[in-house]
Structure formats: C-alpha cells, structure tokens
Amino acid sequence: MKSRFALALIVAGIVFLLCVESKKNDPYKVLGVDRNASNREIQKAFHKLSLQYHPDKNKNKGAQEKFAEINNAYDILSDEEKRKNYDLYGDEKGSPGFDAGDPGQQGGYSYFTSGGPGQSGFNFRPGEWQNMGGQEGGSKSFSFSFGGPGSGGGFDMSDMFSNFFGGGMGGGSQFGGFSGSGRSKQGNRQSSKSIPSVNSQFYRKEIVDKGMTWLLLVYSSNMQEIQIYESVIEQVVTPLQGAMKVGSINCGSETSLCKDLGLYNSREPKIIVYSYASGEKASLVEYGGDLDVRSLKSFCQDYLPRFSKRINLDRFDAASEGGRLPKVLLLSTKKNTPIIWRTLSGIYHKRFLFYDAEVRDASDRSMRELGIDSLPAIVGWLSNGEKEILKSGISVKDLKSAVQELSGLLENFEKKNKKASVQRDATESGVPLLTTSNFDNICGDKVPVCLIGVFKSSTTRDKLQKILQSVSQKSFSRRQRPTSGTRDSVSYALLDASKQQSFLNALDKSGFKSSDKLLLAYKPKRGTYAAFQGEITEEAVESFVSSVLNGDVQFSKARQKPTLK
C-alpha cells in the first residue's frame, strides 16, 4: 500500500512538472500572438523573434534555448494539423480516443507531453490508464513511454529509399518548418557560411548547362533578415542533397552577374531556382511563397528536371524508340516519376534517353519478360539494341548516395555503349560482324531479309566487307530513310564461320563446310534461307539481292532457328 502511495506521489509530481512546462511553452505565448492570429501574423512574429535570438547574433545566456523554443513554437503553429491538435488537446500530436472536454482536458484526464525535437519525453494517454491491484475502482496509474527520434513527427530514416523513389517527399515535422535547437556548440546546424558564394566565373563553370538544379539566395550585404533565409534554405537543401545544390549571390559585390541575370536589388532577399523543369534550357524561377521550409521544399521539388518519359510498359518497344543514344528505363511501384530519376535525367540529359514506368510488383508479366525478379530496377538498351539489366532490387541509404551509385551505373553503361556496334553507323562506315549483341537488331524477326557474308579467313572477310558495303549503298537496296518509320528491306552483316559454325548447321545439315565464302539471304520471320555460292563479285551480289527482293530466288526451310554463341 505504501509503495502504491509513493508511486502515486511520484507520478503526480511528474504530471505537475509537465503541466508547468506545458504552460511555459505555450506556442502562442512564445511567439506573442493571439490564438486567432493569421498565418502571416505568426510568420512575422517568428521572423522578428528569430532574428532577435539567433545564436549567430545574440550571445547572451539563454538566447540559444530561447531560439529553440521559438523554432518549436513556429513548427507547431505553422502546421495546420499540429495547430489544430494543439488547440483541441493542448499538444500538437493530438489525442486520438478522447471523447469530450476542454482543450487539453478530455473525460477528466489530461494529455501531457514534454521534450522538444530530438528529445525524450513522456506521453500520458487516457487509454493507457489502468486499474492498479485487484480492487475494482482502485487507484489509477499511468502507462507512459519515452519519445525520441523516430518516435513520431520526425523524418523516418528507415523508409529513406521509399521517400526518394516515391512521387513526393513526406512532410515530417523536422522539415515542416524551423526545427531543432539552432546551432549548438557542437555545430548541429551548419553555419550560414556553408552556403558557397557564387560569382560570375563560378556561375559559368559550375552551374550553366550542367544539368543540376540550384537553389540560389540573392541578397545585398545590408539586408537584415539574411540569416533567416539562410536557415530556411539549409533545412530545405539538406534532405535534397544530391538532387540539388545551393549557392548565394551578393548583388552588392556581384553587380555585373546580377545585372546579366536580371536580378535587381530589392528590399528583401530573393530565392531563385535554376531549373530544367520547363524545357531543354535551364531558366531562373523566383520563389514567391511564404518563407517556411515546407513550402519552399515543395517548390524546389516541383522544379526538378522532367526529362524522363513516363510510359506504359505494355506498349513500350525499345527498338522502335528512335535516336542513337542508349536508353534506360526505371521500373518501380511509384505513381509518379521518382525524385532520383528526375535528378539523373537532368545530369545525363542528351547522353541517355530516360523512361520510367509503374508496375504492381515483381511478379508482373512484363517483369518476367524483362528478366527482372525484384524492384525497383533499371533496364538499359545499348544503341545496337542489346538489353542489359543494370540493377534490380535497388536499396540506398539516402538521396545523395543513391545519385552517386546510380551515376556510376550510367557512366559504365555509357562506356559500354561507345564500344558497341551500331548498325546505322556500320551501314555508313562498314558492314558489322554479326554477334549476340546485335543479332536481334540486324537479323531479328522485324527485318524482312538479312544478307550475310560468311567467311573463314581475314582475306575473305576484307573482300566481302568491301563488296557488301558498296552494294548496301545502292538505291535498289531501299535503305531506311531517317524520317520514315519503316525498316530496311535488306540488312547486311558478316559472319565468322570459324567461330559460328553452329549458326550454319542450324540452316543446312552440311553446314556449308566446303565453302570458304558464301552469301546467305535469311528471312527471320519465315525461318527460310537461300545461299549463293558462286563467284562473289559486286555485280553478282547486286544481282542476287535484286532477285531476292523480286521473289525470283527459291528459299529453303531452316532446320531450326539459328543462334549465335
């Protein structure tokens, strides 16, 4: 009985202290505004007090704690849901399960909370009060828990990948307004000097046409509220590192740069986004919203690059997509183009063709056809049509590391593409050697006739190369027009019989082993072929091709579909 009484006294003492603390930290009183104050009035009060107690300007004892208290109050009142919860329950987290009572008082019980952002605290909820002992209607006791990072209201690092591969960025309280306790002695908040200065040379070399989104603070040296702007910008850019960079332009010292950019002096600092969202060329877009982290973060996200084409996977044909650039496709369960992919599409614009598609899960039929067993995944196609799974089951720690990792994948794929044979280039500068990587593009089912020069020695190869190159450029070969959507009537290639004998065996039982060189006309869709084993000259090849196109050559059925090793 004594132990129960002692416990009750302890708990009552805690509740009393928390009540005092709750009243002390009334956000309305902290900011000095009425309960019916408008958002603009709250913002003005916050800016004024933040400037007054900012640790960089106010070195008095207790200024840092006051600054943290101001930040916490603004975090509550600038968020519509938190403010509503505070007005109803006395706490920004709300009190689900309560039925009636005055604000902060429900059913005779109170809901208390303590601790600021990142601090531990107690939560007392009426649903957690229980009877003590075996007596009915006995004493009431508390069931309380310690809050802290990740316990609610903050940014959940465990779902970082989902956030960055999602269509938006969730608005936890840590990024919903000013949060934290300002810059501590350990440097929890980055110094305002961490925003690099931008001059004309830096702007031309590091920003212009680099494909990266920049958040720029434009100001003059005599502006008083510059530190407030810097604080907001730092909190916006921190979770977006990797997707955008930040810089500051002092129009007082960089007058020529500001004049060139059309950034003229004003009474207040300006926030400008260097964005690729609206076209091929970047443009400067001025932010005109409220100076709070949530609004500015949303604005920045809207102005990230949009060079990735959203496609329906069932209707996507990589071979039919034009251009000489390699193609990359992101597959995820997200409804909108993920932030990471939009970022990469800006950095590697004009180096890749970007696509993205939404799929239900890895069991989707289209996933099986592509050979993917886990999501998210990136599939690439070289310029010669060769497909490669760059990565599947992607998992990353944060946005910055994700951009770095995927950039490495794209860089390697680009190098591979430069080494690959491109049929269109080969038609102009030489006849390609038939390989596993280009077979579908040159002799696939969509090609009417594939003319193959078969050789066994380098001397024969050079001779066939020269003849086929000349014939392929003749008008009757009906070469593909760049502006048309039709394919060539005849594609040309060489085959090394010493390495690809199985290909020839699939056509004919003899495998043409007695021939040092020959021409094969192969119709992939029908699975038929015709062979020319006479003297191979340019005139003879022209005549053979013409006869094939006119239907004057008899084709034989292949024993099986030929493949390459």
How many Å apart are CA 240 and CA 465, to the nearest integer? Answer: 53
The mean pLDDT value for 444-452 works out to 91
Is the pLDDT confidence value at 421 over 80? no
- Topology of the domain comprising 2-146: Helix Hairpins (1.10.287)
3-state SS class at 260: helix
Contact at 8 Å (CB) between 138 and 131? yes
DSSP state of 207: I
Is the pLDDT confidence value at 203 over 50? yes
Which has the higher per-residue pLDDT, 23 or 240? 240
DSSP state of 240: G
In a 13 Å sphere around the CA of 217, the CA atoms on its Cβ side amount to 30
pLDDT for 210: 93
Do 2-146 and 173-302 agree at the fold level?
Answer: no
How many Å apart are CA 294 and CA 302, to the nearest integer? Answer: 13
Q: Which of 254-258, 410-414, 433-437, 486-490 has the lowest mean pLDDT?
A: 486-490
Q: Which of 66-80, 97-111, 238-252, 357-371 has the lowest mean pLDDT?
A: 97-111
pLDDT for 305: 96
User: How do residues 348-359 score in pLDDT, each as one tens digit?
Assistant: 999 999 999 999
pLDDT for 90: 80
**Residue 283, CA distances (Å) to 211, 260, 277, 343 in order:** 11, 13, 8, 16
Which has the higher per-residue pLDDT, 13 or 175? 13
pLDDT band, residue 3 (cuts 50/70/90)? low
Is the pLDDT confidence value at 334 over 50? yes
- Give the CATH number of domain 173-302; options: 3.40.50.620, 2.102.10.10, 3.40.50.2300, 3.40.30.10: 3.40.30.10
The mean pLDDT value for 95-115 works out to 37
Ranked by mean pLDDT, the top range of 97-101, 165-169, 246-250, 475-479 is 246-250
How many Å apart are CA 362 and CA 372, to the nearest integer? Answer: 7
The mean pLDDT value for 33-43 works out to 88
Q: Which of 132-146, 239-253, 290-304, 328-342 has the lowest mean pLDDT?
A: 132-146
Is the pLDDT confidence value at 549 over 80? yes
**All residues at 6 or more sequence positions from 460 whose CB lies less than 8 Å from its CB, including other chains:** 516, 517
Which has the higher per-residue pLDDT, 319 or 279? 279
- Topology of the domain comprising 424-557: Glutaredoxin (3.40.30)
Percent helix / strand / coil, the chain, rounded to 5: 40, 15, 45
pLDDT for 95: 52
The mean pLDDT value for 235-263 works out to 92
Is the pLDDT confidence value at 93 over 90? no
314-419 CATH: 3.40.30.10
Q: What share of the chain has pLDDT > 70, as a percent?
A: 72
Give long-range contacts, CB 8 A cutoff, 24+ apart: 107-115.
110/15, 110/19, 112/15, 112/18, 112/19, 112/22, 113/18, 113/22, 113/147, 114/18, 114/21, 114/22, 115/147, 115/148
User: How do residues 259-299 score in pLDDT, each as one tens digit?
Assistant: 999 987 677 889 999 999 988 899 999 999 988 899 999 99
Q: Which of 251-255, 402-406, 450-454 has the lowest mean pLDDT?
A: 251-255
CA 531, 535, 536, 537: dihedral to nearest 10 degrees? Answer: -140
Other beta carbons less than 10 A from residue 28's beta carbon: 19
pLDDT for 6: 53
Is the pLDDT confidence value at 216 over 90? yes
Is the pLDDT confidence value at 134 over 50? no
pLDDT for 324: 77
Domain spans in the chain, listed from the N-terminal domain onward = 2-146, 173-302, 314-419, 424-557
What angle is formed at CA 342 by the lines to CA 340 and CA 344, rounded to 5 degrees? 70
Q: What share of the chain has pLDDT > 90, as a percent?
A: 38
Give long-range contacts, CB 8 A cutoff, 24+ apart: 404-412.
404/242, 406/340, 406/344, 406/378, 407/344, 407/347, 407/348, 409/378, 410/328, 410/344, 410/348, 410/351, 410/352
Is the pLDDT confidence value at 361 over 90? no
Which has the higher per-residue pLDDT, 164 or 408? 408
| CB-neighbour burial class of residue 448 (10 A; exposed 0-12, middle 13-18, buried 19+) | middle
Beta strand 327-332 with 353-358 is parallel
User: Tokens 């004009």 correspond to what residue?
Assistant: 350
pLDDT band, residue 4 (cuts 50/70/90)? low
How many Å apart are CA 323 and CA 326, to the nearest integer? Answer: 8
Beta strand 528-532 with 517-523 is antiparallel
pLDDT for 322: 62
3-state SS class at 355: strand
The mean pLDDT value for 441-470 works out to 90
User: Tokens 């004919």 correspond to what residue?
Assistant: 508
pTM listed for this prediction = 0.51
The mean pLDDT value for 39-51 works out to 85
pLDDT band, residue 223 (cuts 50/70/90)? low
pLDDT for 53: 85
Ranked by mean pLDDT, the top range of 193-197, 315-319, 463-467, 485-489 is 463-467
Whole-number average pLDDT of the chain: 76
Phi, psi torsion values for 462, nearest 5 degrees? -60, -40
